[in-house]
Amino acid sequence: MTLEHHLPALQVVVPLLTAPLVAVLRPKDLAWAAATAASAMAFAISVTLTSMVLDGSVLRYEMGGWPAPYGIELVIDSLSALVLLLVTGSSTVALLMGRDSVARDMEPHRQPLFYAAWLTAMAGLAGIAVTGDAFNVFVFMEISSLATYVLIAGGTDRRALTSVFKYLIMGTVGATFYLIGVGFIYMMTGTLNFADMEARIADAPTRAPLLVAAGFITVGLALKAAVFPLHVWLPNAYAYAPHVVTAFIAASSTKVALYVLLRFDFLVFQGNLDGHAIQFADFMLPLAVAGVLFGSAVALYETNLKRLLGYSSIAQIGYMILGASLLDQAGVTAGVLHMFNHALAKGALFLALVLMARRLAGFDLLQIAGIGRRMPWTTAAFLLAAASLIGIPGTAGFVSKWYLVSAAFAQGAVGIALVVVIVASSLMALAYLWRVLEPAYFGTPLETEGNDAPTPLWPLLVLWVAALANVYFGLFPQLPVTLANQAAGALLGIPATGVFP
């Protein structure tokens, strides 16, 4: 067996085994270097895996050589590849530019532990994306969640403690709901393997426990994914986490929860379980619309920039759910595509904040006044990512809006209403980002602010790579569109291109 064959396992094993090593490494910069190298290696593995599934094939890997459904099976398809790219990519970029920011935020002796927790979180998130086993998902979910709580509370801001407690309670409820649902399914089908569940669920003697299971799983994962109205943990968790952590989790963690949600609801339930449409699409669509409008509207009045972007994320998650709950090829493609494009935009925005934090006392909209003149390059990158979030043509955000609006138009009368919602929310995004950009460029800086040391070149370069990715994938979106299209085909059971099992 070649090394290539083991890549699905290595995707998780590399960061997971590096984590304890990082925890004992001294000095702190060595820990940072080891963590970054592990993350970069994981990213390289993700890229390789993506290139292997880009033709529509599915990679299967039997853990320990035990055949499925008895052993744990790892399954890599287009959807998992897309999520893996997000997780490992955002982690790598955030680590690459985050060393100074972490060094400012915590004492030296705690930094190696912080990096160890980071790798653990990443390994957990990647694990969710690679595994084909429902219980395994739960295990990785707990690993990543516990590590994420540590990351969020890792900074100096004491307010993070209360927000992380809220996140912990709600996250645990979500994970427990998921586990209850999986338990019901195991009771009825006797299997934990996704593919096996899909095959056996139709043979179940009664339907009621399965519907209950689907309800528990959908709600539990919606909690983890911050789907409105289960979003309340998100804004504060984003706002008070160390800035680098925000950049990482904003681009990855909710997307991973959404990934499991899509996997379960489409692959396992949809088409196999009568009445599931009511529980999923008919139930989620109004929530998605409400989330889109609510998130954007709150962001319009929010005065803290990080919380503002957090509420914007709630709206953006609404777009993804909206696309998915249209239940057709175009809609699901748009939803999955928006996972990718939103991660690009939001990740770049939070990365810009990492650099801005060097000069700013805080992220109140009054405090960012004049930052455009003090840090022209950083603010310009922020501007570019903001354009992508709004959906200005030529950026990645526009591509997913285009697919989303096209998919909505195809729905007839309901579709027109959805188009109105999407357009209205885009305009609100324009308005709330304008509330940030106008003081940033035209405001007068407050007197009391800290250092005016020049921005180091290296983090700025990394930031610009992230910002320009928004333009690149806006003009040449073939990669994410192909992945999203194949993922949608697989989820809906329609082979789009290539051969699906």
Q: Is 455 left (phi over 0), alpha (psi -120 to 50) or beta?
A: beta
Establish how many alpha carbons lie within 13 A of residue 14's alpha carbon, considering only the half-sphere containing its beta carbon.
21
Residue 24 vs 410, nearer CB to other proteins: 410
The answer to whether the beta carbons of residues 396 and 470 sit under 8 Å apart is: yes
Radius of gyration of the chain (CA): 21
Smallest distance from other proteins to CB 78, Å: 17
Q: How far is the CB of 381 from other proteins (least distance, A)?
A: 15
**Beta carbons of 101 and 243 less than 8 angstroms apart:** yes
Shortest distance (Å) from residue 298 CB to other proteins: 20
Query: Based on CB atoms, which residue is closest to other proteins, 298 or 396?
Result: 396
Tokens representing 427 are 């305009």
CB atoms within 10 A of CB 10: 20
Which CB atom, from 7 or from 390, has the smaller least distance to other proteins? 390
Q: Which is nearer to other proteins, 122 or 418 (CB)?
A: 418
CA 118 to centroid of chain Cα atoms? 15
Q: What angle do CA 488, 490, 492 make, to 5 degrees?
A: 65
CB 59, CB 76: distance < 8 Å: yes
**To the nearest whole angstrom, how small is the minimum distance from the Cβ of residue 351 to other proteins?**
22
- Closer Cβ to other proteins, 53 or 387, answer by number: 387
- Report, in Å, the least distance between residue 329 CB and other proteins: 12
Q: Considering the complex, what minimum distance in angstroms separates the CB of residue 498 from other proteins?
A: 17
Contacts with other proteins, residue ranges (CB under 8 A): 387, 390-394, 399, 402-403, 405-406, 409-410, 419, 423-424, 426-427, 430, 434, 438, 442, 474-477
The half-sphere exposure of 285 on its side-chain side, counting CA atoms within 13 A, is: 17
Whose tokens are 């699901």? That residue is: 332
Contact 213, 185 (CB under 8 A): yes
Smallest gap from Cβ 30 to other proteins, in A, equals 41
Nearer to other proteins, 147 or 422 (CB): 422
**Separation of alpha carbons 322 and 283, rounded Å:** 11
Select 15 or 391, whichever has its Cβ closest to other proteins: 391
CB-CB contact of 32 with 115 (8 Å): yes
Q: Which amino acid is at 162?
A: T
State in angstroms the smallest separation of the CB of 423 from other proteins.
5
Closer residue to other proteins (CB): 377 or 402: 402
Give the whole-angstrom CA distance, residue 334 versus residue 323.
Answer: 6
- Cβ within 8 Å of residue 277, ≥6 positions away: 270, 327
Indicate the helix (H) or strand (E) that contains 309: helix 305-324
- Say which amino acid occupies 227: V
CB of 482 to other proteins, least distance (A): 11
**Token output for 295:** 């998130």
Give 145 or 341: the residue with its C-beta nearer to other proteins: 341
